[in-house]
A and B are shown apart, each in its own frame.
Chain A
Amino acid sequence: MSLGLEHYLVLSAVLFSIGLYGALAKRNAVIILMCIELMLVAVNITLIAFSRYIVPAELTGQIFAIFVIVVAAAEAAVGLAIILAIYRNRQDIDVTKINLMKW
């Protein structure tokens, strides 16, 4: 059995869904951040798989993925800084308790 485009796509879809589920269900803000990273990684797999199978002559998908990785790093840095600020404010990073503002 040889690996085809579909396999990569299914893998990335599954990863994306796991990431999304985690981001919506986990309570610790840092873990949510990690789940979001997982979603981005899933997208990277899709991008590279498409690039490899649809337009093998070009490297568009790979380049795109590199940009995504860079941006994700920046996002994680800012995210961690904000979580740190939250922690300093209330000694807790459980997102279900972060609801000062509602209604």
Chain B
Amino acid sequence: MIPYQFIWLIFLLPFFSFLIIAFFIRPFVKQESRIAGYTLIAALSISLALSVWTLASVMTAPNHELPVPVINWVVIEGGVTLHLGLLVDALTAVMLVVVTFVSLMIQIYSQGYMRGDPGYHRYYAWMSLFTMSMLGLIVAGNLVFMFVFWELVGLCSYLLIGFWFHKPSAANAAKKAFIVTRVGDFGFLVGILILYMNTGTFDIAELHELAITGVLAGSVLTWGAIGIFAGAVGKSAQFPLHTWLPDAMEGPTPVSALIHSATMVSAGVFLVARMFPLFENSPAALTTVAVIGGVTAIFAASMGLVANDIKRVLAYSTISQLGYMMLGLGTGGVAIGIFHLFNHAFFKALLFLGAGSVNHATGTFDMRLMGGLRRMMPWTYATFVIASLSIAGIWPLSGFWSKDEIVISALAQPVLFVLAMITVFMTAFYMFRAVFMTFGGEYRGGGPEAHDSHPHESPNVMVVPMVALAVLAVFSGLWNVTGHFGALLGHGETHGFFAGLFHPFTQVLPWLSLILAGLGILLAYAIYDKKWVSAERLGRLFRPLYSLFLHKYWLDELYENVIVKTVLLRGLFGSFERFDSRGVDGVVNGVASSAIYGGRALRRMQTGQLQLYGLFMGIGILAIIFAIFFFG
């Protein structure tokens, strides 16, 4: 049994690393030194060891839950009491292991990738802070404590997306991400307040208890849960707040790998899992989760079919997979959703590291400029293919086990099931499209900044973490082959048909999904490797669909042109000058721009004439008096 002080250490260690890097290393150590990276790697290694210990302890603990004494943080007499409490159960422990492991791998990789970057120390400082916040979010025992870390994670994400701030696209993407996710956070906060108003507690375990015993029920529960889900939608880039994630790829690739694939974006899924008893007791909320998840999965996958930037393909794939997780939570339960999160973290991080490695060699992310890297970068190629097979759901790789469970749970809702099946096909297709475009055929010269015409394999410090992740991408799924993972996370939601390694072949559904995935791979092979079918001709054949996908369903345009320009501007502020904020989009910017216009209009009130100010005061007094005599 792990002493509880060590659990605190798990998330405090990266924080210490942040302090050391920010206040000692960055000001006093010279730029070339790589000590900042080693500091964080050392901290994370210990955190990982402690996390594994925590997981082992949780497995043997009664109810799979470890008691942790609480510290009083804020006590307001006759009002709120906040504990600095930790909630350590199987869900926490699994997430801890995933986050610390993936972080550790990515930080090792970054030692190679970020080498020589002028912002090297700053990078590791923000990364430390991010890891601390993410781990804090996982162990938090009450909603306010959690919200604090939730916001901190968002802040770090903002800082890291805008890491290369001299690029205006990066700075804009950072702002977009921050503001779009804050829309979700607003829902989250309202959800927390609704729950608090009706129960008087912020404590997660107590809220679980109240939901299970039925004290907390009806519309309060539903709206509270939907508010919380809104936070998850923002953070996990679910439809319709997904627009920030593809843009967020402007950050350094290891950041995309850690934050925008494996950890932060899955915080939304984690949040729903954490509050699952609330969703479970509110059918409306649970259905919302499932539908949003299913729609997002196919929606994002379809946009991934036509993207040419390898990181954007991966970004859409991430959104789509997160949709799967939500679908799993909504139709199956905690274990099913989280099991996919668990597997996805490894293979998606691996895919991003692969993309980073390719970029390191060719100087571009545009797949049309790559090709033929199979021979030049054998390790990158091998690991990338393993990860692609895994995400496509090929037996016996990890993706197969978790994805099929989700698909099977969706069987109860036929529409969602069909969507999930189509997504299986699409996933296999876009992943292998990326594989063949990047690694197959002949080298097409790389980006304008390519070092030479013969790309090399990346240094060992980058390859080793990729291999380690590849091993997990193959084997991590085996944890649940006998239903062990499902039993650990409670509720026993695992489907009985996973009774052994070969057992799936006795069933119809796994065959079906394997065939669909195989077809997807085959089609990609035919078009992009053998060129039996011309991609252009196919594109012309499906022109409407093709441009629909390529233009992201014109959603950005819808937000910007229709909602912002027509409805808000012509409707509300038609008399004002034309709206000119290009390159930013989303409903948020609609709100923001109407606020801007409102501000511009209202400031005319402030004429600088002091007597007018006095008149306003007088009118104000009269208005108050009238209000009192009319309503008072």
Listed in ascending order, the chain A residues whose CB lies under 8 Å from chain B are 20, 23-25, 32, 95-96, 98-103
Contacts and interface: CB of A to CB of B under 8 A. Distances in A.
A102 B611 contact: no
A103 B603 contact: yes
Contacts of A98: 608, 610
Contact of B615 (A24, A100, A101): A24
B611 A24 contact: yes
A102 B610 contact: no
Contacts of B610: 95, 98
B609 A99 contact: yes
B606 A23 contact: no
Given A20-B618, A100-B608, A103-B608, 14 more contacts: A23-B611, A23-B614, A24-B614, A24-B618, A25-B611, A95-B610, A96-B609, A98-B608, A98-B610, A99-B608, A99-B609, A101-B608, A102-B609, A103-B604
B607 interface: yes
A96 B611 contact: yes
Nearest to B603: A103
Contacts of B603: 103
6 contacts: A24-B615, A98-B608, A99-B608, A101-B608, A102-B607, A102-B609
Contacts of B604: 103
A103 B607 CA distance: 6
A96 B606 CA distance: 13
Nearest to A100: B608
Contacts of A25: 611
Contacts of B609: 95-96, 99, 102
Contacts of A100: 608
Interface in B573-613: 603-604, 606-611
A24 to B, nearest CB: 5
B607 A99 contact: yes
A82 B604 CA distance: 27
Nearest to A25: B611
A102 B610 CA distance: 10
**Looking at A20, A24, A101, which has the most chain B CB atoms within 10 Å of its CB?**
A24
Nearest to B613: A24
Contacts of A20: 618
Contacts of A103: 603-604, 606-608
A102 B608 contact: yes
Interface of B is mostly: helix
Contacts of A96: 609, 611
A4 B618 CA distance: 29
A96 B618 CA distance: 18
A95 B611 contact: yes
Q: Which 5 A-B pairs have the closest CB atoms?
A: A102-B608, A99-B608, A103-B603, A24-B611, A24-B614
Contacts of A32: 611
**Looking at B607, B608, B615, which has the most chain A CB atoms within 10 Å of its CB?**
B608
Nearest to B612: A24
A25 B606 CA distance: 18
B388 to A, nearest CB: 57
Contacts of A95: 609-611
Contacts of A101: 608
A78 B606 CA distance: 26
A79 B618 CA distance: 22
A10 B610 CA distance: 28
Interface in B607-627: 607-611, 614-615, 618
A98 to B, nearest CB: 7
Nearest to A27: B611
Nearest to B599: A103
A101 B606 CA distance: 9
A100 B608 CA distance: 7
B599 to A, nearest CB: 10
A14 B144 CA distance: 56
A24 B609 CA distance: 10
B166 to A, nearest CB: 32
A48 to B, nearest CB: 24
A50 to B, nearest CB: 20
A25 B612 CA distance: 9
A23 to B, nearest CB: 7
Nearest to B615: A24
A23 B615 CA distance: 10
A91 B604 CA distance: 27
Contacts of B615: 24
Nearest to B605: A103
A96 B603 CA distance: 18
A95 B611 CA distance: 8
Contacts of A102: 606-609
A103 B610 CA distance: 13
Nearest to B610: A95
A102 B608 CA distance: 4
Contacts of A99: 607-609
B612 to A, nearest CB: 9
A103 to B, nearest CB: 4
Nearest to B611: A24
A99 B610 CA distance: 8
B219 to A, nearest CB: 45
B596 to A, nearest CB: 14
Interface in B4-46: none
B476 to A, nearest CB: 60
A95 B615 CA distance: 14
Contacts of B608: 98-103
A44 B609 CA distance: 29
A99 B603 CA distance: 14
A88 B82 CA distance: 59
Nearest to A103: B603
**Looking at A25, A98, A102, which has the most chain B CB atoms within 10 Å of its CB?**
A102
Interface in B156-176: none
B616 to A, nearest CB: 10
Contacts of B618: 20, 24
B600 to A, nearest CB: 9
A99 B612 CA distance: 11
A33 B615 CA distance: 16
A75 to B, nearest CB: 16
B509 to A, nearest CB: 66
A99 B236 CA distance: 50
A43 to B, nearest CB: 15
Interface in B179-208: none
A81 B611 CA distance: 20
A88 B525 CA distance: 84
Interface in B45-93: none
